[in-house]
Chains A and B, each alone.
Chain A
């Protein structure tokens, strides 16, 4: 190869190729740096403040500001974990049936309407900012719950309903994707045997798409778990485990959002907030692992 063609190749191939490869590498670096930083900050509760991990995770004592005279600060975050689990769990229960039904409608019952109307409808729902969801929750849902179900209105129910609307696009889109790739052969075989459309949906289409639907459900759960402001605006933020769905409560993201601004860096209180952020990060990685598991299982049975 002549020197000239080497330079030519460098300019017109290797340079560009190296640049894009570098940016691919950058993505990995950003992720690693992010995990390392959040981990080192989040570990302070355990390393500097010597809070036992079991106490942090399984204690409901949250007195981060207590003075030394009364026994020093205690940071048990079980209340927040339970709040997050209950609120997003209920949201999932509300949202899943409707989302899956919509996905089936879009793919099996009326693909034309699905593409022309519901695709854009879902996109608009995705685009609505979470504070707007929170704001409508606050001005419509909270008074509604107060007037029709009782209590203050600021409640786990209001939080779950807001989240249910917010996560339906995720569940519906992923489910619709997995429904649309089922081969026509299965359906035709079922119809040929005299099954009705509902029967085919229930016995053939739904089971075939189940791994994909579960993936959508887990993704929706991940989104619900990590949502901060919309939930914070409607759940009332009282630090307790709710006795009923009409009680006000709090979750991980809300306590972080509210307290991060008014605690000094390095205090046990502040450190506990960072540990909760680390917990959120670990949980979202756990969700990814679950999705991969589902994906692999789905491939085996197909």
Chain B
């Protein structure tokens, strides 16, 4: 007997719907589980107090601060380089060997495992510079990690700008460069911001590249001392700086606190919430700036 093709089609469609539904259930379960498990730690005390050694009740203030500061510093380094390379690729690059070489390098860098980039950081930014494990070494390693992403995001958003704008500007006698920075970049800004904030959000959870660059410890931070040269100052970039993601990993593998499980649960919940905030925030900011520029 031949199977009815219409029935097969219906069954296949049903299976596709099931698979798709499965992914949504997986996400809801995943995020729900993390936030539910971490719910007891989602309070100000956990976020604003320092970890205590060998005792329960420690917080994650230094780790959270380190994560934010490290991502901020690395973006300060990556964005100018990545944006410039993106401008070059979108506007100036000709079909030649040089351009191909850049594209190949972007692809190669993007495909490298982050642990390998971390080891390069260990070699160059930790050992060769003589800095040891520092926040700056971590920021530099993370910059390399994000460089291909930012370059791609920049190139894509710049390419998205309509040619008619560009031609109008050139026809008015502006040079190519003037057109780029007076017109193309502002028009592409919403897309650029969205891409950059999103990349920052992902960088926030990165750990493998930071284990051996920013280190797995954090000195006691004095949150009243904002002199960047003081060792205990949170702003000093030349001190070891364990980030939140690294802390989750370390707490799990060493487990020196009796409430390691709860600390990791709470930290994971905060990481997930941060990812959400960055994800939604990136769209919101992009739209806000887009509206402002177009005069809405």
Contacts and interface: CB of A to CB of B under 8 A. Distances in A.
A198 B9 CA distance: 5
Nearest to A32: B105
A182 B38 CA distance: 45
B92 interface: yes
Contacts of A101: 15-16, 19-20
Interface string B64-103: 0000000000000000110011011101110000100110
Interface stretch (A54-62, A68-76, A148-156, A219-227): A219-227
A226 B85 contact: no
B208 A228 contact: yes
Contacts of A222: 111
Contacts of A127: 198, 201-202, 205, 275, 278-279
Given A38-B119, A132-B248, A227 B113 contact: yes
Interface residues of B, number: 89
Size category of the binding interface on chain A: 35 or more
A301 to B, nearest CB: 23
Given A132-B245, A229-B208, 5 more contacts: A101-B16, A124-B275, A132-B268, A227-B113, A277-B115
Interface of A: 9, 12-17, 19-28, 30-34, 37-38, 41, 98, 101-102, 104-106, 109-110, 113, 117-118, 121, 123-132, 134-136, 138-140, 165, 168, 196-199, 201, 219, 222, 225-229, 233, 253, 256-257, 260-261, 265, 274, 277, 280-281, 284-285, 287-288
Contacts of B31: 124
Given A105-B17, A109-B16, A257-B208, A129 B275 contact: yes
Interface string B140-172: 000010010001000000000000000000000
Contacts of A33: 124
A280 to B, nearest CB: 5
Contacts of B205: 127-132
B42 interface: no
B207 A131 contact: yes
Closest 4 CB pairs of A and B: A129-B205, A226-B113, A23-B84, A196-B9
A138 B27 CA distance: 17
Nearest to A278: B116
Given A129-B205, A131-B245, A9 B175 contact: yes
Contacts of A27: 81, 85, 102, 105-106, 109, 147, 151
A205 to B, nearest CB: 12
Given A27-B85, A34-B144, A127-B278, A277 B175 contact: no
A132 B17 contact: no
Contacts of A138: 252
Interface string B22-50: 11101100110110010000000000000
A284 B112 contact: yes
